[in-house]
Structure 1
Amino acid sequence: MLGSKKINIVSSLLLVTLAAIMGGCSKYLDAAPNKSYVIPSTLKDFQALLDNYNILNNVDMSVGEISADNYYLNYADWAALSDEGQRRMYTWEKDYFFQFNAGDWRRPYAAVYYANTVLDNIDNVDRNAANAMQWDNVLGQALFVRAKTYCQLTAAFTKAYNPVTAPTDMGIPLRTNSDFNIVAVRSSLAETYNTIIADLKTSAALLPVTPVHVMRPCKTAAYALLARTYLNIGNYDSSLRYADLCLQLKSNLLDFNTLTASATYPIPQFNAEVIYESFMPTPAPLNNSRAKIDSALYQSFASNDLRKTVFFKDNGNGSVGFKGSYEGGTAPFSGIAVDEVLLIRAESSARKNDKTNALNDLNTLLIKRYKTGLFAPVTAIDANDALDKILVERRKELLMRGLRWPDLKRLNFEGRNITIKRVLNQVTYTLPPNDLRYALPIPEDVIKLSNIQQNPR
């Protein structure tokens, strides 16, 4: 998306990105960027940085989805993985998941560096009546990008949020400016979430309701990400509020009856439900030629539930693969869409003892997923029963979107007692509730170079 004049900006930034994400190690600073590179200094320059799809939109983290229980690998496919770290990740080993300069750590902090470059320099551009909307939009986008990236890092590399211990639990390194000489330290989990929420609230006040394209952030996306964030920390008043604010602005749902379920990839990219577009580059374990959907999960879809054919392909050997990405292809969608926000509002209502509105939202979604005329509205005896049913549908609807891993952490923290397991060559591997391994290990080379503290194993 960058114009040719902006390639020098990107190249210059990438030269220093490693130093920025490794913790300010001076040995990376010996070779300064070429002085001929353009320094971003205009709103057009800043927008060009924020429009870099390959840095900000198509590099979402896959480590949580690889670790989650939505799929399984047979032994032959697992053994054939060329990346030893991915094999270890699949069986929840304690360490050595990542090769040197690992993408699932490096890429997020590269996105943060882009955002911080804008945030550090935008005040050098005078905000005036002529450029105020553009100025605010650029600032809001940068704040959203940083918050969204911190959300993903937190979901992978920290434990479940406990309001009592969050002030002392380890969060992530928060890079709040682009000065790569500042040594990285791990903030507390409370500080991490406070930073995410503050960035998102400010961005929501600055961004337009409707973006030029869903590849750019907007007010609706900021509200949606606030709803997701508050859900993850158990603040249901706020998750309900921001989900509602989002849905007041955008509530489009795809009618799965209008899709060609037999198509290779039935759901189009940039469809009407998408609020913010981003995806995970398909890692080898999640390739739909290898990843088999958990059989009990697949069987939980009713025969008249169109997701059973829209989401899945028959592998011809008794297993099924996933084909329901909102990317219209193999890459798993990990952005934000209306269905997720509707389920957040439904869950939040149920947790607030509002059975009626919880079920209204759930049924609003499901009627668009079942064959026309064959959907029987979900009922519940009370709000707790409604919550149980919403959580079942949340797992089914938001399959392979990078949301299951943080869901497992938060649901086990509240006592859902979910143990997940893998079986390889007749050996069973288990991950019990609230295990330390739910906070994935930070890459060992990052620990060595930055001296930040590793997650307890």
Structure 2
Amino acid sequence: MKKRYYIILPLLFALASCKKFLDEKSNRSIAIAETLADQQSLLDHYQVLNQVDGNSAEISSTDFYLTDTDFSSRLENERNMYTWQRANIFLPELNEWSNNYKAVYRANSVIENLGKIPRTTSNASQWDNVNGQAYFYRAKNILKTLFVWAPAYDVASAGSDLGVPLRTGSDFNVPSFRSTVEECYSQVLSDLRVSVRCLPPVAVHMMRPSKAAAYGMLARALLTMRRYNEAFLYADSCLRLKNELMDFNTLNAAATLPIQRFNVEVLHESFFTGVPLSNVRAKTDPQLFALYETNDLRRNVFFNDNKNGTYGFKGSYEGFTTFFAGVAVDEVLLIRAECLARLNRLPEALADLNKLLRNRYKKNTFVDRQSFDQVAITTMVLNERRKELLMRGLRWADVKRLNKEGVGISLTRTVNGKSYSLAPNSSGFVLPIPELVIEASGMPQNP
């Protein structure tokens, strides 16, 4: 039998809090993918599955801006992405698309390998856990590919709108073609439901997915689809397993990086990087910063005062200069609050919103939000969603979704005196697929 060999590279950022977990994985440089332990090693490949979530959605969003000088200093593809151009926005080979499908390939390989390993009474727990992780990673990477390269989900057109390729096997000889948006989201939901059934409630470490994380990812996907009743149910299931929030009163807001990595809110850890997004370059949108009230601790926990009237973001849940893109309790709580508001369960929506904000405002200064108006409460939740979840790669998909709700959000940037804009529901909200992918596959390009 022909054996496949996989190189397991040393994991980056081996901080003290996860040293024991990482050491076990990095001690084996080559694994023969035949045993359950081998499959777990494939899924513990941090560089493929945790640290390359992709930055195009964040660079394309407008929660930050670049000065003309910083814009001019960036690579051509980054400048094109920042101004919503339709070509040359991704490097030819090492790009977000290829990273997503590398992760999908790895997940598919594990799923196929598991088919050759009998599930027995003695190994059932481990077998299920590995299987659930593989399905989680496949779903997650298809979903984030949809966020960037497919239009917003619309029940009226999803059956004909072009989505992304659904790679469900590891055979490179199988041609890639673009499935519909409906088919893609159906695959994501199906995979995540498998992962929910298989994963343990809490993982051995946050770098691995858990049942709670899978529930949270399902809630994220269904919120994007505007299926609010189902999104509520999965968000609620997640929060029944894990719902602890950080009290920002306990953080050192003056610190360079106030929020600890692997904090109590993190359900599954992953992140992205990006030179244009670093807080020495990316300036927070002044209109966004103005949304934070004086007693809102996020003004100082999330932002670095540049002492020139501008602010840089320092509030990543990575505890580093990289940007958290995983699943966390605060996001899931806001998903549940929004769904409750849209379902007209207003006291419950306010209870979730107030729980979050009591942990974000200076002690004894926050007054619970009160209202009996559905539109007002929904608006409150959406405002807090934007203020709480910035720089996580979620705003781009949010704008696309909310514009399908008729909110009418347009995006505008000005560079060297020239204005660039995206109108609501514009085709510009669907990024062009890397040119080499189109040339190699013959797939239709986005308009």
- Shorter-chain TM range is over 0.9
Q: Quote how far apart the aligned CAs of 1:102 are.
A: 3.5
Residues 8 and 45 of structure 2 are in contact (CA less than 8 Å); yes or no, is this contact kept in structure 1? no
Match of 1:293 in 2: 284
Matched, 1:434 2:425: yes
Q: How many residues align?
A: 425
Q: Distance in 2 between matches of 1:9 and 1:412?
A: 44
Q: Distance in 2 between matches of 1:186 and 1:10?
A: 30
Match of 1:195 in 2: 187
Matched, 1:54 2:51: no
Name the aligned partner's letter for residue 241 of structure 1.
L
Q: Distance in 2 between matches of 1:332 and 1:145?
A: 19
Match of 2:101 in 1: 109
SS in structure 1 at match of 2:7? helix
Residues 59 and 107 of structure 1 are in contact (CA less than 8 Å); yes or no, is this contact kept in structure 2? yes
Identity of aligned residues (%): 49
Give a deviation string over 1:313-358, Cα, whole Å, max 9, x none.
Answer: 0112210000000000110100010000000000000110111111
Match of 2:21 in 1: none
Residues 164 and 180 of structure 2 are in contact (CA less than 8 Å); yes or no, is this contact kept in structure 1? yes
Q: Distance in 2 between matches of 1:245 and 1:253?
A: 16
Name the aligned partner's letter for residue 46 of structure 2.
Y
**Which of 36, 44, 51 is the matching residue for 1:43?**
36
**Which of 70, 75, 79 is the matching residue for 1:77?**
70
Q: Distance in 2 between matches of 1:305 and 1:202?
A: 40
Q: Distance in 2 between matches of 1:99 and 1:53?
A: 22
**Which of 196, 205, 222 is the matching residue for 2:197?**
205
Matched, 1:123 2:115: yes
SS in structure 1 at match of 2:115? helix
Q: Quote how far apart the aligned CAs of 1:380 are.
A: 2.0
SS in structure 2 at match of 1:313? strand
Name the aligned partner's letter for residue 116 of structure 1.
N
Residues 102 and 443 of structure 1 are in contact (CA less than 8 Å); yes or no, is this contact kept in structure 2? no
Q: Distance in 2 between matches of 1:274 and 1:38?
A: 29
Match of 1:236 in 2: 228
Match of 1:348 in 2: 339
Matched, 1:134 2:126: yes
Name the aligned partner's letter for residue 353 of structure 1.
N
Give a deviation string over 1:51-72, Cα, whole Å, max 9, x none.
Answer: 0111100010110000001100
- TM-score normalized with structure 2 length: 0.93
Q: Distance in 2 between matches of 1:258 and 1:38?
A: 43
Residues 75 and 424 of structure 1 are in contact (CA less than 8 Å); yes or no, is this contact kept in structure 2? yes
Q: Quote how far apart the aligned CAs of 1:11 are.
A: 7.4
RMSD of aligned C-alpha atoms? 1.4
Residues 65 and 285 of structure 2 are in contact (CA less than 8 Å); yes or no, is this contact kept in structure 1? yes
1:268-417 → structure 2 map (5 Å cutoff): 268-280=260-272, 282-417=273-408
SS in structure 2 at match of 1:187? strand
Match of 1:419 in 2: 410
Q: Distance in 2 between matches of 1:97 and 1:64?
A: 12
Q: Distance in 2 between matches of 1:104 and 1:286?
A: 16
Match of 1:32 in 2: none
Match of 2:17 in 1: none
**Which of 7, 11, 19 is the matching residue for 1:10?**
7
Matched, 1:66 2:59: yes
SS in structure 1 at match of 2:312? strand
Q: Distance in 2 between matches of 1:358 and 1:299?
A: 24
Q: Distance in 1 between matches of 2:31 and 2:40?
A: 14
Match of 1:27 in 2: none
Q: Distance in 1 between matches of 2:88 and 2:407?
A: 29
RCO comparison, higher one (Cα < 8 Å, 6+): 1
Match of 2:438 in 1: 447
Q: Distance in 2 between matches of 1:204 and 1:85?
A: 38
SS in structure 2 at match of 1:321? strand
Give a deviation string over 1:135-194, Cα, whole Å, max 9, x none.
Answer: 000000000000011111010111111101101101110100101110000000000000
Name the aligned partner's letter for residue 71 of structure 2.
W
Q: Distance in 2 between matches of 1:66 and 1:114?
A: 27
Q: Distance in 2 between matches of 1:11 and 1:224?
A: 28
SS in structure 2 at match of 1:9? strand
Q: Distance in 1 between matches of 2:36 and 2:95?
A: 29
- Consecutive unaligned residues of structure 2, counting only runs of 5 or more, are 10-29
